[in-house]
Amino acid sequence: TEGQIITCKAAVAWKANKSLVIEDVQVAPPQAGEVRIKILFTALCHTDAYTWSGKDPEGLFPCILGHEAAGIVESVGEGVTEVQPGDHVIPCYQAECRECKFCKSGKTNLCGKVRSATGVGVMLNDRKSRFSINGKPIYHFMGTSTFSQYTVVHDVSVAKIHPQAPLEKVCLLGCGVPTGLGAVWNTAKVEAGSTVAIFGLGTVGLAVAEGAKTAGASRIIGVDIDSKKYDIAKNFGVTEFVNPKDHDKPIQQVLVDLTDGGVDYSFECIGNVSVMRAALECCHKGWGTSVIVGVAASGQEISTRPFQLVTGRVWKGTAFGGFKSRSQVPWLVEKYMNKEVKVDEYITHTMTLDDINKAFDLMHEGGCLRCVLSL
């Protein structure tokens, strides 16, 4: 297949909010600095649903969504040296070129090399898509487009992982689990003995709980409007549960009262700007730090009284948990293989690509953490 167009199945989002359609898609060969990957497993993340809904200012249609996956390199373009056909890989929406201003800063995991192309659904080389249906181009998404049996990504967006890692599990290390763990370990740098509040107990929030537990947090307070989440969350380290619906007081006040003045760290893992405010305001005066993880819709803005920051609270955000993707995803895979990081526990459902619309329905029903699709 090397050097040839591959026709394969992919779930195409033709329009915002309209059911995905399984189509025969043509996938062009990788150009210089590109890698074509046979995707074997992909999970669904809330961010796919967000872009599909039409609320993402960067959302373009028609496109192929998906960004939490694992597969095997099928072929590589000119000049690609770090991976070869047969390598087991995880596509990374946050690239790492190791050469740009961002990568060299030592201050961020964001990379500037391909972002201008991935934000508009094309490849950097010729600013065109490698996907088409009967000559009509279909946009890429987040530089990954994993809802396809084959995808083309930039070489700076490919993490080569241990060949024995179970791809049907470690696909989750492409987004949600590292985001939660890294929000705690890299962005907040939670210390032992800290009090932590987590707003939203989906996969990302539960991974925050897992990260906080391993960091030695003494109290891990889970906040969710779905009380069923508490039983699940206990297994990930949540020690107390608060349902905002059980209280008349604003949730920030409930937490401040519960923690003698506020928490040391809070994490917003929903994408709701009023919850982001509550998450900041439940932090302890003088030092409490709040990390925004959730992605909010186009047009939404955050607000609080500046006095909250003047009096020492800190507002931060995180993308992919601050992990440098190509360098650290392989390390996370090995931590999973050594049983130091959970992955299996987040997978509540498995299906095939044909059932992708059902998988999205499940995600909105709440009983689902991660659904892994086999392609």
Residue 43 within binding range of ligand NAD, rule CB under 6 A? no
Residue 254 within binding range of ligand NAD, rule CB under 6 A? no
- The Cα-based distances of 129 to 9, 41, 43, 154, 174 in angstroms read 17, 22, 23, 12, 22
Residue 294 within binding range of ligand NAD, rule CB under 6 A? yes
User: Can you spell out the DSSP letters for 69-118?
Assistant: EEEEEEEE-TT--S--TT-EEEE-SS---SSSHHHHHSS-S---SSHHHH
Strands 195-199 and 219-223: parallel
The site string for Zn ion over 214-253 (x = CB under 5 A, - otherwise) reads ----------------------------------------
Minimum CB–partner distance for residue 289 and ligand AHE (Å): 19
* From the list Zn ion, ligand NAD, ligand AHE, none, partner contacted by residue 26 (C-beta under 5 to 8 A by kind): none
Minimum CB–partner distance for residue 321 and ligand NAD (Å): 7
Is the backbone peptide bond immediately before 85 cis, with ω within 30 degrees of 0? no
Q: How many CB atoms lie within 10 A of CB 86?
A: 9
Residue 293 within binding range of Zn ion, rule CB under 5 A? no
Residue 362 within binding range of ligand NAD, rule CB under 6 A? no
**Alpha-helical segments (H) within the chain:** 46-52, 101-105, 115-118, 167-170, 176-182, 203-214, 229-234, 251-258, 273-281, 307-310, 325-337, 356-365
Residue 175 within binding range of Zn ion, rule CB under 5 A? yes
For the segment 66-125, give every residue that binds ligand NAD (CB under 6 A). Answer: none
Which helix (H) or strand (E) segment holds residue 315: the answer is strand 314-317
Under the rule (CB under 6 A), what is the footprint of ligand AHE? 45, 47, 56-58, 94, 110, 115, 175, 295, 319-320
Q: Which of 66, 57, 58, 55 is nearest to 20 (CA)?
A: 66
User: Whose Cβ is closer to ligand AHE: residue 13's or residue 242's?
Assistant: 13
Catalytic amino acids?
45-47, 67-68, 97, 100, 103, 111, 115, 175, 370
Residue 13 within binding range of Zn ion, rule CB under 5 A? no
Contacts with Zn ion, residue ranges (CB under 5 A):
45, 47, 175
Contacts with ligand NAD, residue ranges (CB under 6 A):
45-47, 50, 175-176, 179, 199-205, 223-226, 229, 244, 269-272, 275, 293-295, 318-320, 366
